[in-house]
Amino acid sequence: MSIPLKHFKKGTPKPKLPEDGVLRLYLMRFCPYSERAALVLAAKQIPHHKIYIDLSEKPEWYTDYSPLGKVPAIQLTAVDGQPALVESLVIAEYLDEQYPGRSLFPADPLQKAQDKILIERLAPAVSAVYPVLFTKNPPADALPNFEQALDVFEQELTKRGTPYFGGQQIGMVDYMIWPWFERFPALKFVHADKYELDKTRYAKLLRWVELVAQDEAIKQTALDSQVHAKFMATRQAGEPNYDVAFEAV
């Protein structure tokens, strides 16, 4: 059954879906946390339905799946009671453990813990660059703080000595931090100085971006930076248009 390519809003009825036991992913197309879940589903080739949620005017029925109205949420339709999970890292780890195929997290408990810490270390970069991407008057120190936070990841690639954070193959760290690196190039479209990451300072990180962009799961979920910039312009104007994602489809 086909689900319309649109974000369900307040007042719109719940989509009719078949009781086929297929996972249901509730997401917003431009949400990086939603993309995390979508990436793991794509990487492990897990069948699922996508239901898009308008975060400005959430449909009343959405709290049945996400009590706080957050995305992503995933409904486990093949499990008794059809429970729903929220929080992107919780969803990612559950899918990695419960579904067959190559594990995206390392098997070693210590390395897995260190990888989860590294994922969390992206938070300062996200916090710093967020107002640059989505507001009209970001603080003057936003980009320097953003760069300082990204230095950690350039140094970590040097320390690991591998093309991916996951080693010789793409792994969970790569997928969990990618959604923001997909969005960072939009800075050259939304920032007055057409800002881009320094190619010398972030040589390994930019090479990593090129490699990850070639991954099949990434190709299935990624949007072009100009599409991201178009959405960011609607956010900056105070009228976010989530469905602009589908205009390029």
pLDDT, tens digit (0-9, with 9 covering 90-100), for 104-156: 999 999 999 999 999 999 999 999 999 999 998 899 999 999 999 999 999 99
Side-chain half-sphere CA neighbours of 28 within 13 A: 21
Chain segment 187-227, per-residue pLDDT in tens: 999 988 899 999 999 999 999 999 999 999 999 999 999 99
Sign, CA dihedral 7-12-18-23, equals: positive
For position 192, what pLDDT does the model report? 84
State how many domains the chain has: 2
For residue 167, the 8-state DSSP code is: B
Percent of the residues in the chain that have a pLDDT greater than 90, as a whole number: 93
User: Quick check: is 194 catalytic?
Assistant: no
Tell whether 90 and 132 lie within a shared domain. Answer: no
Per-residue burial over 176-213, b if 16 or more Cβ lie within 10 Å, else e, is bbbbbbbbbbbbeebbeeebebeeeebebbbebbeebe
At what angle are helices 203-212 and 142-160 packed, to 10 degrees? 80
Q: Which residue has the tokens 């995933």?
A: 74
Per the model's pLDDT, the better-predicted residue between 1 and 53 turns out to be 53
* Same domain for 69 and 113: no
pLDDT above 70 as % of the chain: 98
Its sign, for the CA torsion 74, 77, 78, 81, is positive
Chain centroid to CA 58: 19
| Same domain membership, residue 62 and residue 37 | yes
Predicted structure pTM score: 0.96
Active-site entry in 25, 27, 28, 31: 31
- Interatomic CA distance for residues 139 and 131, integer angstroms: 8
Residue 217 lies in a domain: yes
- What mean pLDDT comes out for the span 54-63? 96
23, part of any domain: yes
Residue 165 has pLDDT above 50, yes or no: yes
| Domain final position from 74, 98, 122 | 98
Using DSSP's 3-state secondary structure scheme, residue 52 falls into strand
Residue 104 counted as domain residue:
no
The boundaries of the domain holding residue 129 are 109-248
Q: Is 73 part of a structural domain of the chain? A: yes
Residue 1 in domain: no
11/40 same-domain check: yes
Q: Is the pLDDT of residue 67 over 50?
A: yes
Look at 20-29, 33-42, 131-140 and tell me which has the smallest mean pLDDT: 131-140
Q: Which residues contact 2 (CB under 8 A, 6 or more apart)?
A: none
Confidence of residue 12 (pLDDT cuts 50, 70, 90): very high
CATH number at residue 72: 3.40.30.10
Mean pLDDT of 23-38: 98
Looking only at the bridges linking them, the beta strands covering 84-86 and 73-75 are antiparallel
> Which position has the token pair 């690639």?
157
Domain boundary (98, 129, 148) is at 98
pLDDT at position 1 is: 44
Q: Does a structural domain hold residue 159?
A: yes
Residues 178 and 239 reside in one and the same domain: yes
Residue 224: which of 166, 185, 172, 190 has the closest Cα?
185
Query: In which element (H, E) is residue 139 found?
Result: none
Report d(CA 17, CA 236) in Å as an integer: 34
Same domain, 68 and 115: no
Here the tokens at position 158 are 């040097």
CA distances from residue 15 to 5, 21, 202 in whole angstroms, order as listed: 12, 16, 44
190 occurs within a structural domain = yes
Domain presence at residue 43: yes
17: pLDDT strictly greater than 90: no
Q: Name the pLDDT band for 247 (thresholds 50, 70, 90).
A: confident
Q: What does the pLDDT read at residue 59? A: 97
pLDDT of residue 149: 97
Using the 3D structure, point to which of 38, 67, 98 is the last residue of a domain: 98
Cβ-proximal residues to 136 (8 Å cutoff; 6+ apart), any chain? 236
